Amino acid sequence: MASEGKSQRRIVLDRLSVARWGSAVGATALIVAAVALLAGGELSPVVVIAALIGMGGLSLWMTLAPEDFRSTLTGRRAVYGSNSLLIVLLFIGSVLIVYGMAARSGIAADFTSRGYYTLKANIRPIIQQLSRPIQITAFYSRRLLTNQALEAPILRLFSDAAPDKIRLVYADPDAQPILAGQFGLRSAYGIFVSYLDAEGAPDPNFTVKVLTARDRLPDLPVEEDYVNERWIAEAILQLEVRGRFRVLFSVGNGEVNLDNDATGIRDGLRAVGIQVATLDLSREGVPEGTTALIILAPVRDFSQEMADRVAAFLERGGKVLIMAEPAFRSDIRFLQAEDSPLAQYLWRAWGVRPNRDIVFDPLSFNETQYYVRAAQFLEGHPIVQKDQTGSAARPLFPIAQSWQLAAEPPSEVSLKSIYTTSPQAFGKLDLREVARNPDRAIREAADLPGPLALVVAAENQRTGARLLLVGDSDWVTNDLIVAFDGQILWTNMIDWLIGFLERVTVEPAFGQLPLSVPSRDLELTALITVGVLPTAILLLGMWVWWRRARR
Amino acid sequence: MRHIGIIFRRELAQYFSSPIAYFVAFAVLLLTGFTFNNDLALRNGRAPVDPALPLIYLAQFSVFFVPLLTMRLLAEENREGTLELLMTLPLQDYQIVLGKFLGAWAYYTLLISLTLVHQVLMLWLNPVDVGVAFAAYIGLWLFGGASIAVGMFFSALNENQIVAAFLGMAALLILWQADLVGNVLNNRALAEFVRSLSFQSNYSYSFAIGIVRFDHTVFFVGVMSVLLLATAQIVQSRRWR
């Protein structure tokens, strides 16, 4: 009988069923059109075709079954149904309003025990003492919305801490390429802090890029790139000190050309916001507001007047870095004469003078012995620190002279030899002989015995003046600074002189230690979580099933 | 409240008298256990443990197992005609829906509380951030409530439990994956709006990292409220259909 009944079933295609199918297809097509319009943001062919199908379907319904259409809109089900729909829609609207208010309020509770999402105590004063209002511009492309969501709580820490001083703006580098270009952004992600100009827009001349994890690990994919609270704070500090540090390079005496041979060190200083300019000491003294004076291997010696100007700057607490080449060429006369005014001042006021030699170190493993790699260093001095582990930078000085330190320096001066050669090194005083046989230097009785001082640091306790002396300048040229820890030594020297990093560095928070447990502990954990716990639940379930089956 | 309490107790008791709930719990704990141990092995000697990680896995698994818990709540009553019987009792429709919802949520709460074992083991292995774990549990609990509300909504729409479960899983999967909508949509404003409806973005980037955000809390409570209201309207529609 059942099979007979099945065989008798027929599909009846009457006006009403066609009309209802038309209404269903039409409604679906209208929904598709709406979704396509919202997703694409334009009247694409898909939107138009779907809308036409939708209108056609509904017209079919209205034409073929006008009674059904009318009763759907006005009947009992329509009345109750629309009431229900209205109630739900009203409720959704109310929830959306509350949600919007909650999102704007930014109320959040940080449950992390280290207060990871609370502004750290050492960062709060930086925000409170901001000299001018700033804008944090955070660029995330559309495919990095997840990264934006993860970093939003950290970025909000800053804007919430000082809403009147810090404005947080999100931007899409793909949708706003001109804006991204103004910040020099070439990728999908980047965060910048800027002072605002007179019109309230970010000032490109006073903008600092927040260094991200990818700046430290270039192989990191952009999707995994991130910033943290400390790095943002350091960028703000860099912005705040921008223009406050002014470093002058002396010119006019045959110094290393900053615009040609040593552009790297000049641009490096500028990149972190240090003002760089030149000064001709034969014309004027060191102006007020100068943080440091750098004398980069002049060829001609300084006159008495120029030496006096250097001395005057040091007397008022100035910081000076002098690099002096040995006289391996006949034209190099800087500090070479016995009566050199600057050399005499250095010996008298600071207890240090050039040995006027050329250093050879047999232990230097480079091609020639006069390419001297620093063999010994003053343990723990900030200038020699290579990284946070405490290991030391080992710079290379091609053709260097050494320095003589007074056995008893002036009472106010603390004098330290930072880098020295090995004890086997020697300083050749007969420079003509060296010039004749540069690759066959043999130690002789007249030579200065090692270890010889290559870098000397001095500090006047009364005035606070600092003096750094290096017996070579080739290591800061563009070709060599990238090799043998040159960049590290340069950065450390500048930092020791002017205290830049301590002004722009925020102490890192203590991080959580990695998991470090023996494998037997992991095995026990696996036994409990994969074995005991699920099995206990399974046995309980089987017991329940068995009891039910017995009933 | 008394009526809601009666329905709640009845529903909760049904979970514990049926082996299905135990088997679901077994599967969930086994999966969580595997992912948890795999993560520990990967981190050993390399990275600190993250107390929220087993809970994020559990949230992902919820997409699939919550509809299994909710599929019968109203679909079964619909198919067997017991919903009509319930509606003849002096009960409001919302009381039926709320009682059933609370029963399912209580079962879910007990299930996630079993993962406290994982937290204790993590504490034993390595000091973990208990605050992060606490926030992650609050979030997972709200996440579970919203997922149950989604599942119940589809259970009310269907008489067939399998269809209800399937639709619930599909909806939860979309709500979870909506976080990645930025990769597909060209319209950034729309992408951000859709993303804000994602369960993952409202859980993984706040509760799971140790922050309890008011807007994300409102989101989950709002989803629960809207869907429970819609479910109550569907149940009520049987009176006038």
Taking contacts as CB-CB distances below 8 angstroms, the residues of chain B near A110 are 210-211
Contact list in B for residue A529 (CB cut-off 8 A) is 29, 32-33, 36-37, 117-118, 121
Q: Would the CB atoms of A514 and B127 count as touching at under 8 Å?
A: no
Q: Which CATH number covers residue A197? A: 3.40.30.10
Both tokens of residue B228?
């429970």
- Using CB atoms, pick whichever of B179, B183, B229 lies closest to residue A88: B229
Tallying the residues shown for chain B, one arrives at: 241
Q: Do A258 and A386 belong together in one domain?
A: yes
Tell me the residue range of the domain where A60 lies.
Answer: 13-103
Burial of A429 (0-12, 13-18, 19+ CB in 10 A): middle
* Model pLDDT for residues B43-75, shown as the tens digit of each residue: 888 888 888 888 999 999 999 989 998 988 888
Please tell me whether residues A303 and A217 are part of one structural domain: no
Which pLDDT does position A533 carry in this prediction?
A: 92
Percent of chain B topping pLDDT 70? 99
Chain B nearest C-alpha distance from A205 (Å): 30
Choose one of A54, A69, A103: the last residue of a domain: A103
Q: Which domain holds residue B140?
A: 2-240
Q: Which residue from A61, A67, A38 is spatially nearest to A50, judged by alpha carbons?
A: A38
Q: How many C-beta atoms lie closer than 10 Å to residue B160's C-beta? A: 15
Please report residues of A whose CB lies closer than 8 A to that of B132.
111-113
The pTM assigned to this predicted structure is 0.68
Q: Judge if A365 and A468 occupy the same domain.
A: yes
Q: Cβ A39–B187 below 8 Å, yes or no?
A: yes
Domain identity same for A323 and A444:
yes
pLDDT score at A132: 87
Contact A515 B240 (CB under 8 A): no
- With an 8 Å Cβ cutoff, are A537 and B22 in contact? yes
Instruction: Provide the shortest C-alpha distance from residue A389 to chain B (in Å).
Output: 18
By Cβ distance, the residue of B129, B212, B241 closest to A108 is B212
B34, B46, B230 ranked by CB distance to A514: nearest: B46
Q: Do B191 and A514 touch (CB under 8 A)?
A: no
Q: Dig out the tokens for B93 from the structure.
A: 């429709």
Q: Show residues of chain A in contact with B127, CB under 8 Å.
A: 512-513
Six token digits for residue B193 = 């709006």
Find the CB nearest A142 among B188, B215, B236. B188
Bond into A451 cis (ω within 30): yes
Q: Which residue of A has its CA nearest to B129?
A: A113
**Quick one: pLDDT at residue A129?**
83
Question: Measured between beta carbons, which residues in chain B are less than 8 angstroms from residue A102?
Answer: 214-215, 217-218
Tokens standing for residue A396: 């290379």
Confidence of residue B218 (pLDDT cuts 50, 70, 90): very high
Three-state DSSP at A417 gives: strand
pLDDT the model gives residue A390: 61
**Is A493 in the same domain as A389?**
yes
| Per-residue pLDDT tens listing for chain A (551 residues) | 444 444 455 666 788 888 888 988 998 999 898 888 877 767 788 889 999 999 999 899 889 888 888 877 777 777 777 778 888 888 888 888 898 888 888 788 999 888 888 888 888 888 888 888 999 999 999 888 889 988 988 999 899 888 889 999 999 999 899 999 988 888 899 999 999 988 889 888 788 899 899 888 888 888 889 998 889 998 998 888 877 788 999 999 999 988 888 888 888 887 777 888 999 999 999 999 898 999 999 999 999 999 999 999 999 999 999 999 998 888 889 999 999 999 999 999 999 999 999 888 888 765 666 777 777 777 777 787 766 556 777 888 888 999 999 999 999 999 998 888 888 888 888 887 777 777 767 778 888 998 999 999 999 999 999 999 999 998 888 888 877 788 888 888 888 888 777 666 666 666 677 788 888 899 999 999 999 999 999 998 888 888 887 87
**Residues of chain B contacting A526 with CB distance shorter than 8 Å:** 33, 37
- Residues A292/A320, Cβ–Cβ less than 8 Å: yes
Question: Would the CB atoms of A40 and B45 count as touching at under 8 Å?
Answer: no
Q: State the count of interchain CB pairs (< 8 A) between A and B.
A: 208
In B, minimum Cα distance to A95 occurs at: B222
Contact B139, B51 (CB under 8 A): no
E strand or H helix at A453: strand A453-460
Residue A5: per-residue pLDDT = 47
Whether residues B30 and A103 touch (CB distance < 8 A) is answered with: no
Shortest distance between the Cα of B28 and any Cα of chain A, in A, equals: 8
pLDDT tens digits for range B196-206: 889 998 998 88
User: A91 vs B26: CB contact, 8 Å cut-off?
Assistant: no
Contact A146 B180 (CB under 8 A): yes
State the total domains in chain A. Answer: 3
- Could you tell me which of A378, A359, A377, A357 has the C-alpha nearest to residue A369? A359
* Rounded distance between C-alpha atoms, residue A249 and residue A226, angstroms: 37
CA dihedral (A280, A281, A287, A289) in degrees, to 10, reads 80
pLDDT at B114: 92
Tell me which of A90, A142, A224 to substitute to probe the interface with B (most B C-beta atoms closer than 10 Å). Answer: A142
- Spell out which residues of chain A touch residue B125, defining contact as CB-CB under 8 Å: 515, 517, 521-522, 525
Who among A40, A87, A99 is closest to B186 (CB)? A40
B38 → chain A, closest CA residue: A526
Identify the pLDDT of residue B17: 83
The 3-class SS string of chain B reads: CHHHHHHHHHHHHHHHHCHHHHHHHHHHHHHHHHHHHHHHHHHCCCCCCCCCHHHHHHHHHHHHHHHHHHHHHHHHHHHHCHHHHHHHCCCCHHHHHHHHHHHHHHHHHHHHHCCHHHHHHHHHHCCCCHHHHHHHHHHHHHHHHHHHHHHHHHHHHCCCHHHHHHHHHHHHHHHHHHHHHHHCCCCHHHHHHHHHCCHHHHHCCCHHHCEEEHHHHHHHHHHHHHHHHHHHHHHHHHHHC
Do A181 and A283 lie in a common domain?
no
Per-residue pLDDT, A2: 44
**Residues A146, B201: C-beta atoms closer than 8 Å:** yes
The pLDDT score that the predictor gives to residue A514 is: 79
Helix, strand, or coil here: A246?
A: strand
Nearest CA distance, A513 vs chain B (angstrom): 6
Contact A153 B206 (CB under 8 A): yes
B1 Cα to chain A: minimum distance (Å): 22
- Beta-carbon contacts of residue A198 (< 8 Å; ≥ 6 apart): none
Instruction: Tell me how many domains chain B contains.
Output: 1
Residue A541 resides in a domain: no
CA-based nearest distance B237→chain A, Å = 8
Q: Which two tokens stand for residue A388?
A: 């946070």
How many other CB atoms are found less than 10 A from the CB of residue A170?
Answer: 13
Q: Is residue A190 part of a domain?
A: yes
Partners of residue A99 in chain B, C-beta under 8 Å: 215, 218-219, 222
User: Is A81's CB within 8 Å of B40's CB?
Assistant: no
Q: Is residue A384 part of a domain?
A: yes
Which chain A residues are Cβ-neighbours of B214 within 8 angstroms? 102, 105, 107-108
- Position B93 pLDDT exceeds 90: no
